[in-house]
A and B are shown apart, each in its own frame.
Chain A
Amino acid sequence: MSATAHSVIEPTARERRFAATLIVIYALVTMLPLVWIFMTSLKTPQDSISYPPKVVFGPTLEGYVNLFTTRTRQTPEYMASLPPPETWWDELVRSRNMVIAGPSKFGERFLNSVIIGFGSTFLTIFLGTLAAYAFSRFRVPLKDDLLFFILSTRMMPPVAVAIPIFLMYRQLGLSDTHLGMILLYTAVNLSLAVWLLKGFMDEIPREYEEAAMIDGYTRLQAFRKVVLPQATTGIAATAIFCLIFAWNEYAFALLLTSGTAQTAPPFIPTIIGEGGLDWPAVAAGATLFLLPVLVFTILLRKHLLRGITFGAVRK
Chain B
Amino acid sequence: MARSTPIDRVAHRAAAATPPHLRARVRGISDRAVAWVFIAPTIALLLAINIFPLLWTVYLSFTNYRANRPNREVEWVGTRNYERVLTDGDIWHTLQVTAHFVCWTLALQVLIGFTLAWLINRNFRGHGFWTTVIVLPMMLSPAVVGNFWTFLYQPQIGLFNYVVAFFSGVDPSSFSMIGSVHLAPWAIIIVDTWMWTPFVMLICLAGLRSIPEYLYEAAEVDRASPTRQFWTITVPMVLPFLMLAVLFRGIENFKMFDLVVELTSGGPGSVTELASINLKREAFEKWRTGYASAFAIVLFVTVFGLASIYVKALNRVKDR
Contact = CB atoms under 8 A, between A and B. Distances in A.
A163 B34 contact: no
A68 to B, nearest CB: 17
Tell me the interface secondary structure of chain A in the complex.
helix
B136 A163 contact: no
Contacts of B284: 159, 162, 166, 255
A152 to B, nearest CB: 7
A275 interface: no
B194 A134 contact: no
Contacts of A238: none
Interface residues of A, number: 101
Interface stretch (B49-57, B75-83, B85-93, B102-110): B49-57
A30 interface: yes
Contacts, number: 299
A-B residue pairs, 5 tightest by C-beta: A160-B296, A187-B49, A164-B53, A250-B143, A250-B258
A17 B205 CA distance: 19
A160 B50 CA distance: 11
B239 interface: no
Interface in B5-40: 12, 15-16, 27-29, 31-32, 34-39
B27 A219 contact: yes
Contacts of A293: 139-141
Given A16-B123, A255-B284, A305-B135, A269 B147 contact: yes
A50 B203 CA distance: 41
A53 B36 CA distance: 61
A268 B147 contact: yes
Contacts of A50: 157
Interface in B291-317: 292-293, 296-297, 299-300, 303-304, 307
A161 interface: yes
B94 to A, nearest CB: 12
Contacts of A268: 143-144, 147
Given A27-B130, A53-B157, A163-B296, A134 B38 contact: yes
A131 B39 contact: yes
B119 A23 contact: yes
A283 B245 CA distance: 32
Contact of A134 (B35, B70, B216, B276): B35
A144 to B, nearest CB: 14
B244 A155 contact: no
Nearest to B149: A33
27 contacts: A9-B217, A16-B123, A20-B126, A20-B127, A30-B137, A31-B133, A51-B172, A146-B43, A153-B50, A160-B279, A163-B293, A165-B49, A167-B67, A183-B49, A187-B45, A213-B27, A220-B34, A244-B139, A250-B141, A250-B257, A250-B261, A265-B144, A286-B145, A286-B148, A294-B139, A312-B203, A312-B245
Given A16-B122, A23-B120, A30-B137, 14 more contacts: A11-B123, A20-B125, A20-B126, A23-B134, A30-B134, A50-B157, A134-B36, A138-B32, A159-B257, A164-B52, A166-B67, A265-B141, A294-B139, A312-B248
Interface string B202-230: 11011000000100110010000000000
Interface of B: 12, 15-16, 27-29, 31-32, 34-39, 41-43, 45-46, 48-54, 56-57, 60, 67, 70, 116, 119-120, 122-128, 130-137, 139-145, 147-149, 151-152, 154, 156-159, 162, 172, 194, 199, 202-203, 205-206, 213, 216-217, 220, 241, 244-245, 248, 251, 254-255, 257-258, 261-262, 275-276, 279-280, 283-284, 289, 292-293, 296-297, 299-300, 303-304, 307
A156 B254 CA distance: 10
Contacts of B139: 244, 293-294, 296-297, 304
Interface string A1-25: 0000001110100011101101110
Contacts of A16: 122-125
Contacts of A146: 43
A116 to B, nearest CB: 13
A57 interface: no
A266 B31 CA distance: 45
Given A16-B123, A250-B258, A290-B144, A155 B307 contact: yes
Interface in A264-305: 264-266, 268-269, 279, 282-283, 285-286, 289-290, 293-294, 296-298, 301, 304-305
A130 B42 contact: yes
Contact of B280 (A128, A255, A265, A315): A255
Contact of B60 (A30, A130, A164): A164
Nearest to A193: B42
Nearest to A54: B157
A8 B217 contact: yes
A248 B142 CA distance: 7
A36 B153 CA distance: 12
